[in-house]
Amino acid sequence: MNAQTAIFAPFARCHRHLEYRVTGNVSAETLRPAIKAAEEADNVVIGFGHELWQKLGQSAPPELKPFSDIGPAHSTQADLWLWIAADDHSAVLDTSMTLHTLLSPIATLEREIDGVEYHQSRDRIGFEDGSANPKTEEAQHQAACIPEGVTGTGGSYVLTQQWQHNLPAFNAVPIKEQEGIIGRTKADSIELEGDAMPATSHVSRTDVKVDGVAQKIWRRSVPWGGVEANGLYFVAFACELSRIEIQLQRMYGLSEDGIKDRLTEFSAPTSNSWWFTPSQEQLRAL
């Protein structure tokens, strides 16, 4: 089973994320035009919430569930998620409009995020985003895709979160302290080492091993916003939902050591949802 093509495509400049709530009765038949359009495009990823996937009569991967609150990360779980990406903003908008036209008779748009690459893959706080992503194609697929022999093979568990930053507060912090908050240097994204790496850094809280296995994920986040409201639309694909859940628990001090991620002092998620992105073959079968 092959993952949806756009998940591993080179990162584009322009992005739009759409989250829908399905209204009334829904079936694979009523969703088919939109699913077909998404499946045939090479720049669209489509994800399903737990309840919608069940309504479509599909077998769910074992860990799929609706998002429930994790500390201050409150659930805004919707039914359907679309990620459209391209280097040309017009192409992203045109595809988004086409898909929205197909979905609007059966679904309500709950969230629309327009994101653009910022200074060569940097977050709006100025640090490079996704530095810890697996580097090889094989490692990327191992981190992101449900393995053979498990329901949902070739698909992925996905977390989406819209984070809103308090940029004035973060920018008021000296750069050296900012680097301690993130766990990397700001200019060249080199990971801090030894005593220079605080236990409260974002890297320390999200770089996790369970029974000796690194809990790697595949990040595809994009900055959003303007001069006042801005932040990061965080997107993470994983072969196991628990990999991302553990990282969130550690960020909010809900693990055994009780240590919190200092980045949460300057940024908060305003939306949180789990999704399942089925394989290309599963999507085509729908």
**Candidate list 79, 87, 114, 129, residue with the active-site label:** 129
Report the candidate in 55, 54, 16, 13 with the shortest Cα–Cα distance to residue 38.
16
**Alpha carbon distance, N-terminus to C-terminus of the chain:** 15
The CA radius of gyration of the chain, in Å to the nearest whole number, is 19
Helix (H, G, I), strand (E, B) or coil at 57: coil
Q: In three state form, how does the secondary structure of 131-175 look?
A: CCCCCCHHHHHHHHCCCCCCCCCCCEEEEEEEEEECHHHHHCCCH
Our CA angle for 271, 154, 25, nearest 5°, is 55
If you count DSSP H runs as helices and E runs as strands, how many of each does the chain have, helices first? 9, 11
Whether residue 273 contacts residue 75, with contact meaning beta carbons closer than 8 Å, is answered with yes
Extract the tokens encoding 46. Answer: 């489509």
Known catalytic membership, residue 94: no
Active-site residue list: 129
